[in-house]
């Protein structure tokens, strides 16, 4: 029992000592108010703010180039749309025909014609990829107006090509090719 009481007394003494070390009079610590050096640093930081970013301007010649690529994609899309009804009729007529038969071969040629028209719509995408890479390099150095313009055009052309691919895939399934 005595050993137990002495252990409790020793632990209580250590606990009181540990807690007491965290207590000190307020006057022993420095103030947390701003010091003159801190205020001078803040003022200096405000003076060194970067210059405002100039307004975003698209590079010279880019709008014309994008318009030409969009016109090329639109023309290819129109060519695809003009071939689609005939190809659809031909493929629907050949649906279920055995491979190598006359109707299957004619339908396969019609499907190939649609794929050719789609490839013409995909050509502007290659140019848009290159323009997007160039515009992303320019965006690192400053304005991002070029990359926004190129991406807008790219989204439009990709939507055309994706729609054409969906038509071709559905016709290919009907043909069984």
> Domain coordinates of the chain in residue numbers?
62-175
Q: Which long-range contacts (CB under 8 A, 24 or more apart) does 81-90 make?
A: 83/110, 83/113, 83/114, 83/117, 84/114, 84/167, 86/110, 87/111, 87/113, 87/114, 87/171, 88/171
Q: Is 55 helix (H, G, I), strand (E, B) or coil?
A: coil
Rounded mean pLDDT of 16-28? 65
- pTM greater than 0.85 (yes/no): no
What is the rounded average pLDDT of the residues 78-89?
93
Residue 169: what pLDDT?
Answer: 94
Please give the structure tokens belonging to residue 48.
């060194």
pLDDT exceeds 90 at position 165: yes
At residue 25, the pLDDT reads: 62
Between 46-60, 98-112, 119-133, 142-156, the lowest mean confidence (pLDDT) is in: 46-60
Name the fold adopted by 62-175: Methane Monooxygenase Hydroxylase; Chain G, domain 1 (1.20.58)
Over residues 154-161, the mean pLDDT reads 95
Per-residue pLDDT reduced to its tens digit, 23-55: 656 666 777 777 777 777 777 777 666 665 556
The pLDDT value given to residue 120: 92
């Amino acid at each position: 029992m005595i050993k137990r009481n002495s252990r409790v007394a020793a632990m209580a003494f250590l606990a009181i000592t540990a807690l007491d070390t965290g207590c000190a009079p307020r006057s022993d610590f420095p103030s947390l108010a701003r010091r003159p050096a801190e205020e001078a640093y803040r003022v200096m930081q405000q003076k060194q703010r970067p210059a405002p970013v100039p307004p975003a301007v698209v590079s010279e010649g880019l709008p014309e180039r994008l318009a030409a690529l969009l016109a090329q994609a639109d023309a290819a899309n129109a060519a695809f749309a003009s071939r689609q009804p005939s190809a659809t009729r031909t493929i629907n007529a050949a649906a279920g025909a055995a491979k190598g038969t006359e109707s299957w071969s004619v339908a396969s040629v019609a499907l190939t014609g649609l794929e050719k028209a789609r490839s013409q719509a995909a050509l502007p995408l290659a140019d848009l990829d290159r323009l997007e890479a160039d515009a992303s390099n320019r965006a690192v150095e400053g304005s991002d107006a070029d990359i926004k313009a190129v991406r807008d055009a790219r989204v439009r052309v990709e939507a055309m090509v994706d729609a054409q691919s969906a038509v071709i895939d559905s016709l290919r399934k009907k043909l069984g090719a």
